[in-house]
Amino acid sequence: MGRSRKLNPAVIDELVEAAREGNPHKTCANLVVVAEGTLYEWLSKGRQHLEQGEETLEAELCERYTRARGEAEREHVGIVKRAAIDGDVKASMYWLDRRGIMAPQQVAVSGGLTLTHDTARQLLAEAARDLPDDDVGVDDDPVRAARAT
Protein backbone atom coordinates (compact mmCIF):
# COMPACT_ATOMS: atom_id res chain seq x y z
CA MET A 1 0.00 0.00 0.00
CA GLY A 2 2.95 2.31 -0.25
CA ARG A 3 4.78 4.18 2.42
CA SER A 4 3.88 3.43 6.03
CA ARG A 5 2.12 6.22 7.89
CA LYS A 6 3.15 7.15 11.38
CA LEU A 7 0.77 6.33 14.15
CA ASN A 8 -0.70 9.50 15.63
CA PRO A 9 -3.83 10.51 17.58
CA ALA A 10 -5.80 11.32 14.40
CA VAL A 11 -5.02 7.90 12.90
CA ILE A 12 -6.02 6.23 16.18
CA ASP A 13 -9.33 8.11 16.20
CA GLU A 14 -10.08 7.07 12.62
CA LEU A 15 -9.18 3.42 13.27
CA VAL A 16 -11.30 3.33 16.42
CA GLU A 17 -14.29 4.84 14.62
CA ALA A 18 -13.98 2.34 11.77
CA ALA A 19 -13.74 -0.53 14.26
CA ARG A 20 -16.77 0.77 16.17
CA GLU A 21 -18.74 0.63 12.91
CA GLY A 22 -17.87 -3.08 12.69
CA ASN A 23 -15.41 -2.91 9.81
CA PRO A 24 -12.90 -5.75 9.41
CA HIS A 25 -9.20 -5.09 10.07
CA LYS A 26 -8.38 -4.77 6.37
CA THR A 27 -11.00 -2.06 5.83
CA CYS A 28 -9.84 -0.18 8.93
CA ALA A 29 -6.27 -0.27 7.63
CA ASN A 30 -7.34 0.86 4.16
CA LEU A 31 -9.21 3.83 5.61
CA VAL A 32 -6.00 5.20 7.13
CA VAL A 33 -3.92 4.15 4.11
CA VAL A 34 -1.69 1.59 5.81
CA ALA A 35 -1.10 -2.06 5.05
CA GLU A 36 -3.15 -4.50 7.09
CA GLY A 37 0.14 -5.88 8.40
CA THR A 38 1.03 -2.44 9.76
CA LEU A 39 -2.21 -2.35 11.73
CA TYR A 40 -1.49 -5.82 13.13
CA GLU A 41 2.03 -4.71 14.03
CA TRP A 42 0.72 -1.64 15.87
CA LEU A 43 -1.82 -3.77 17.74
CA SER A 44 0.79 -6.38 18.66
CA LYS A 45 3.17 -3.73 19.98
CA GLY A 46 0.27 -2.14 21.81
CA ARG A 47 -0.57 -5.41 23.59
CA GLN A 48 3.05 -5.76 24.66
CA HIS A 49 3.16 -2.17 25.90
CA LEU A 50 -0.10 -2.61 27.84
CA GLU A 51 1.26 -5.77 29.48
CA GLN A 52 4.39 -3.84 30.48
CA GLY A 53 2.36 -0.88 31.74
CA GLU A 54 3.81 1.48 29.12
CA GLU A 55 1.72 4.42 27.90
CA THR A 56 2.38 4.63 24.17
CA LEU A 57 0.34 5.42 21.09
CA GLU A 58 0.34 1.72 20.24
CA ALA A 59 -1.01 0.87 23.70
CA GLU A 60 -3.74 3.50 23.33
CA LEU A 61 -4.65 2.15 19.89
CA CYS A 62 -4.76 -1.43 21.14
CA GLU A 63 -6.98 -0.60 24.09
CA ARG A 64 -9.40 1.69 22.24
CA TYR A 65 -9.53 -0.39 19.04
CA THR A 66 -10.17 -3.63 20.94
CA ARG A 67 -12.92 -1.97 22.99
CA ALA A 68 -14.51 -0.50 19.82
CA ARG A 69 -14.58 -3.90 18.12
CA GLY A 70 -16.22 -5.37 21.22
CA GLU A 71 -18.82 -2.59 21.23
CA ALA A 72 -19.62 -3.25 17.56
CA GLU A 73 -20.00 -6.96 18.20
CA ARG A 74 -22.20 -6.33 21.25
CA GLU A 75 -24.45 -4.04 19.21
CA HIS A 76 -24.87 -6.56 16.40
CA VAL A 77 -25.38 -9.48 18.78
CA GLY A 78 -28.12 -7.39 20.40
CA ILE A 79 -29.80 -6.90 17.02
CA VAL A 80 -29.66 -10.63 16.28
CA LYS A 81 -30.86 -11.44 19.80
CA ARG A 82 -33.85 -9.09 19.45
CA ALA A 83 -34.72 -10.70 16.11
CA ALA A 84 -34.44 -14.13 17.73
CA ILE A 85 -36.71 -13.07 20.60
CA ASP A 86 -39.20 -11.85 18.00
CA GLY A 87 -39.27 -15.38 16.58
CA ASP A 88 -36.68 -15.28 13.80
CA VAL A 89 -35.36 -18.86 13.94
CA LYS A 90 -32.45 -18.09 11.60
CA ALA A 91 -31.34 -15.29 13.90
CA SER A 92 -31.48 -17.69 16.86
CA MET A 93 -29.45 -20.29 15.00
CA TYR A 94 -26.91 -17.66 13.91
CA TRP A 95 -26.53 -16.39 17.47
CA LEU A 96 -26.07 -19.89 18.86
CA ASP A 97 -23.59 -20.77 16.12
CA ARG A 98 -21.52 -17.61 16.73
CA ARG A 99 -21.38 -18.44 20.44
CA GLY A 100 -20.07 -21.91 19.59
CA ILE A 101 -23.13 -23.47 21.18
CA MET A 102 -24.64 -24.98 18.08
CA ALA A 103 -22.05 -27.11 16.34
CA PRO A 104 -23.40 -29.08 13.39
CA GLN A 105 -25.04 -32.17 14.84
CA GLN A 106 -23.74 -35.46 13.55
CA VAL A 107 -25.15 -38.91 13.11
CA ALA A 108 -22.94 -41.98 13.48
CA VAL A 109 -23.54 -44.55 10.77
CA SER A 110 -22.28 -48.14 10.70
CA GLY A 111 -18.83 -48.62 9.25
CA GLY A 112 -17.35 -45.66 11.12
CA LEU A 113 -19.03 -43.09 8.85
CA THR A 114 -20.28 -39.87 10.43
CA LEU A 115 -22.77 -37.59 8.71
CA THR A 116 -24.28 -34.25 9.64
CA HIS A 117 -28.05 -34.17 10.14
CA ASP A 118 -28.42 -32.21 6.89
CA THR A 119 -26.47 -34.83 4.91
CA ALA A 120 -28.47 -37.65 6.50
CA ARG A 121 -31.73 -35.86 5.56
CA GLN A 122 -30.53 -35.41 1.97
CA LEU A 123 -29.58 -39.08 1.69
CA LEU A 124 -32.96 -40.16 3.12
CA ALA A 125 -34.77 -37.84 0.71
CA GLU A 126 -32.83 -39.30 -2.24
CA ALA A 127 -33.56 -42.85 -1.08
CA ALA A 128 -37.25 -42.02 -0.64
CA ARG A 129 -37.47 -40.69 -4.20
CA ASP A 130 -36.43 -44.13 -5.44
CA LEU A 131 -39.22 -45.91 -3.51
CA PRO A 132 -42.68 -46.50 -4.97
CA ASP A 133 -45.19 -43.95 -3.62
CA ASP A 134 -47.05 -46.53 -1.51
CA ASP A 135 -43.83 -47.41 0.37
CA VAL A 136 -43.32 -43.82 1.53
CA GLY A 137 -46.79 -43.63 3.03
CA VAL A 138 -49.15 -40.70 3.34
CA ASP A 139 -46.44 -38.37 4.67
CA ASP A 140 -44.29 -37.05 1.82
CA ASP A 141 -41.52 -36.03 4.22
CA PRO A 142 -38.88 -38.77 3.80
CA VAL A 143 -37.34 -38.06 7.19
CA ARG A 144 -40.66 -38.45 8.99
CA ALA A 145 -41.49 -41.49 6.88
CA ALA A 146 -38.13 -43.09 7.76
CA ARG A 147 -38.72 -42.43 11.45
CA ALA A 148 -42.17 -44.05 11.27
CA THR A 149 -40.73 -47.38 10.13
For residue 141, the enclosing domain spans 106-148
CA distance 28 to 146: 51
Asked whether residue 3 is domain-assigned, the answer is no
pLDDT of 66: 96
Per-residue pLDDT of 24-57, as tens digits, reads 999 999 999 999 999 999 999 999 999 999 999 9
As a residue count, the chain comes to 149
For residue 136, is pLDDT > 50?
no
* Reported pTM: 0.60
Asked whether residue 4 is domain-assigned, the answer is no
Q: Which of 79, 98, 117 is the last residue of a domain?
A: 98
CA distance 118 to 106: 9
Residues 85 and 121 placed together within one structural domain of the fold: no
pLDDT of 80: 82
